[in-house]
Chains A and B, each alone.
Chain A
Amino acid sequence: MRHWHETIAIARRILVELVRHRQSLILWSIFPISILILIGLILAEGTKISTTEAFRVSAPASLVGAALFFSCLGGTISTIVAERESSTLKRLFISPLSGISYFLGIFIAYGCIGLGQTLLVYTVAAFFDVQFSGSLILGAGIILLSIGSYVGMGFLLGTQVARQIEDVNGLVAGFGVPLLILGGAFFPIAFLPPPLLLITQFNPIYHMNQALLDVSANSKDLSDPDLILHFRFLVGFFVASIASGWLAYRRMLGQERRL
C-alpha cells in the first residue's frame, strides 16, 4: 500500500507539472496526428492503396514511433535529467521513497500520456474509416509493453548518458530517429534496401510496430507465427529495458546520493 501511494504521488506530480507547462503535452498531441495524416496521405498516394488501408498501416507506426517514442522515452529522460539538474532527486533520496515506486510513478505518468496518445491517434484514424478489429487486450498489452520498454530505456539514457537538459533533444534525435526510420515508423520497411532490412529484424521499434499492426488488423490471439515472433521480441526487449533501466538507476543512486 505504501508503494502504491508513493507511485501515485510521483505520477501525479509529473502529470501536474506537464499539464501546467502545457507545451510538451500540446507537442505530443500535434506530432503523432500530423505524422499519421502525412504518412497516411503519402502512402495512399505513393503506393496506390486505399486511404483507409494507408491509415490502417500508418496508425500503429505513428503511435509506437512518433507518439510513444518521443513522449515516453524523451519524457522519461527529461524528467530524470530535470530532477537531477534541480537536485530534487537528492531530496527524494533523503525521503523513504523506494526506487520501485519512483520507477512505477514515471511509468504510470507516461503510461497515461501514452494511452491518451493512443486514443488520439485511433480517433483521428477512425475519421478515415480505420477500425481496430483485433484483440483490444492484446493491443493494450503491446502498447503497455512498448511504454514500459521506452520508460526503461529512458531510465538508462537519463541516468547514464544525458547529463543536462540540453542533451535530451540531441540524444532522442541521434539515437531515436535512425531507429524509427529503420523500424518502419515513417514509411513501410519494404522501401529499405536488403542490408538495412537485416538490421530491422533486430530493431525493437519494428517489432512493436508490426505486432500492433498485426493485432489491429485482425488477430484475436497469439496464434499467428509472425505475431508470436514480434511479441516475443517485444517481451524480451521490455525485460531487457526494465533490467538495464533499473541497474542504471541503482548506479545513479551511488553517484548522486550526496547533498
Chain B
Amino acid sequence: MLTVQNLSKYYGDRSILQDVSLHIPQGEIYGLLGPNGAGKTTIINIICNLIQPDRGTVKIDGELIGDATKSLIGIAPQDNLLYKGLTCWENLEFFATLYGLRGEARTKQVRSCLEAVNLVDRSHSLVGVLSGGMVRRMNMAIALVHHPKLVILDEPTTGLDIEARYEIWELIGQLRAQGTTLLLTTHMLEEAERLCQTIGILKNGHLLVEGDLAKLRQVIPAEEIVFMRTTAEKNAIERARELGFTERHYGNDLAFWLPEHKTLVELVNLFDGISIDSISIQPIRLEHIYIEITQAAQPV
C-alpha cells in the first residue's frame, strides 16, 4: 500500500532524513517510533505531499505521490486541526465536501464516521465544548471521512487519560479489522507494542531497525530482564559479569539481561552475600529494545 524508497531530505547542510525505506502492506499497522526530531513528521509531510524530498520516492497504492494521491490519504495530525466554532457534523460535512463527497453519499459517510468514533450523540455539539478524548476521536473521524486507503495517525493518544486512550486503541483495532492500512507515530511504546504489526525505529533521520516484535527482540539476546535495587551496586555488577549477565541502566534502575529463565529464589541465591533492597523479573518489552537501539541506555 505504501512504499517509501531511499527518502532523503536536507534543510541546508542539515540532514533530516537519510535513505529511509519502508513498506506497509495493505491492512497492516506500521508503527514509526523515534525521539523528537528523529524525522517522523518530515516523513509524514513528504507522504502528504506537503514538502518535497531531495531524493527518493513515495508510492501509495502504486501511484507516485502528488495532488492525485491526496484523497488516498487520511491524516489525524498530532494537533487536533478542527473548526471549534462548527459542530461535529458540520466539521465532517465540510471536510467530506473538500474530498469530493456529495449529497446522500456524504450524509451517509458523515453519519458512519460519527458512529465509528462513537460520537453520534454529540453530532450537533460544537467541537469547542468536547472533552480532550472526544476531540481526538473527532480528529480521527475527519481522517476517515473520505474512506482513505492509508490513514496516518500522528501520536493519536498523546495527552489523553487512560480511558480515552483505550477508546482510541479500540478504534484503531476496528480500522485494522476493516482492512485499513495505518501508519502510526507514537512515543508510547506500549501503544506500538499493542497495535502494530511492524515497527520501525528512526533516529537522526536514519531508520535504525524495522520488523515485527519478534525480529526486534533479537536486539536483546536474553530471555528476561531482572531489575535490582541495591546499595552494593558495584559488587552486584561484578557478580553479574561472573554469571555472564549483561548489565544495563534503565534510568536509575540497575538491570541485567538473563540469557535463560531463572526464578527469583535462584536469582537471590546467585547474588548471595550482596545486600538487595528489591528485585523483580520482567519480560523484554519494546521500551528496552527501543532504548537499546537508540542507545539511550548506555553500558554501565
Q: Give A residues with C-beta under 8 Å from B.
A: 2, 5-6, 8-9, 12-13, 16-17, 20-21, 86-88, 90-97, 257-259
CB-nearest residue of chain B to A19: B85
Q: Give B residues with C-beta under 8 Å from A.
A: 41, 44-45, 48, 50-51, 67, 70-71, 73, 75, 77-79, 81-86, 90, 94-95, 97-100, 102, 126, 142, 154
Expressed in whole angstroms, the Cα–Cα distance for A176 and B154 within the complex equals 42
Q: Find out whether the CB atom of A87 lies under 8 angstroms from the CB atom of B98.
A: no
Q: Find out whether the CB atom of B84 lies under 8 angstroms from the CB atom of A9.
A: no
Using a Cβ cutoff of 8 Å, how many contacts connect chains A and B? 74
Q: Find out whether the CB atom of A91 lies under 8 angstroms from the CB atom of B81.
A: yes
Expressed in whole angstroms, the Cα–Cα distance for A6 and B83 within the complex equals 16
Q: Find out whether the CB atom of B97 lies under 8 angstroms from the CB atom of A88.
A: no
Q: Find out whether the CB atom of A9 lies under 8 angstroms from the CB atom of B97.
A: yes
CB-nearest residue of chain B to A17: B85
In the complex, chain A residues whose CB is within 8 Å of the CB of B126: 20
A90-B77, A258-B50, A258-B51 as given contacts; A95 in contact with B99, CB under 8 Å: yes
Q: Find out whether the CB atom of B51 lies under 8 angstroms from the CB atom of A96.
A: no
Question: Can you name 19 A-B pairs with beta carbons within 8 Å?
Answer: A6-B98, A9-B97, A12-B94, A13-B94, A16-B85, A16-B86, A86-B81, A87-B77, A88-B81, A88-B82, A90-B81, A91-B77, A91-B81, A91-B142, A96-B98, A96-B99, A258-B50, A259-B48, A259-B77
Q: Find out whether the CB atom of A96 lies under 8 angstroms from the CB atom of B94.
A: no
CB-nearest residue of chain A to B69: A96
CB-nearest residue of chain A to B90: A16
CB-nearest residue of chain B to A20: B85
Known: A93-B50, A94-B70. 16 other contacts (CB 8 A): A2-B100, A9-B94, A13-B86, A17-B83, A86-B84, A87-B77, A88-B83, A90-B77, A91-B81, A91-B82, A96-B71, A257-B51, A258-B45, A258-B51, A259-B41, A259-B44
Expressed in whole angstroms, the Cα–Cα distance for A9 and B92 within the complex equals 11
Q: Find out whether the CB atom of B82 lies under 8 angstroms from the CB atom of A94.
A: no
Q: Find out whether the CB atom of B48 lies under 8 angstroms from the CB atom of A96.
A: no
> How far is the CB of A131 from the nearest CB of chain B, in Å?
39
> How far is the CB of B239 from the nearest CB of chain A, in Å?
50
Expressed in whole angstroms, the Cα–Cα distance for A5 and B94 within the complex equals 10
Expressed in whole angstroms, the Cα–Cα distance for A13 and B84 within the complex equals 11
Q: Find out whether the CB atom of B95 lies under 8 angstroms from the CB atom of A95.
A: yes
In the complex, chain A residues whose CB is within 8 Å of the CB of B102: 5
In the complex, chain B residues whose CB is within 8 Å of the CB of A92: 98
Expressed in whole angstroms, the Cα–Cα distance for A6 and B100 within the complex equals 8
Expressed in whole angstroms, the Cα–Cα distance for A86 and B128 within the complex equals 12
Expressed in whole angstroms, the Cα–Cα distance for A96 and B102 within the complex equals 15
> How far is the CB of B147 from the nearest CB of chain A, in Å?
14
CB-nearest residue of chain B to A94: B48
> How far is the CB of A87 from the nearest CB of chain B, in Å?
5
Most buried by A among B77, B94, B98: B98
Expressed in whole angstroms, the Cα–Cα distance for A81 and B82 within the complex equals 15
> How far is the CB of A93 from the nearest CB of chain B, in Å?
6
Expressed in whole angstroms, the Cα–Cα distance for A86 and B135 within the complex equals 14
Expressed in whole angstroms, the Cα–Cα distance for A87 and B78 within the complex equals 11
Expressed in whole angstroms, the Cα–Cα distance for A12 and B44 within the complex equals 30
Q: Find out whether the CB atom of A94 lies under 8 angstroms from the CB atom of B83.
A: no
Expressed in whole angstroms, the Cα–Cα distance for A87 and B79 within the complex equals 8
| The 8 nearest A-B residue pairs measured at CB | A91-B81, A17-B85, A9-B97, A95-B98, A257-B50, A96-B70, A97-B98, A87-B81
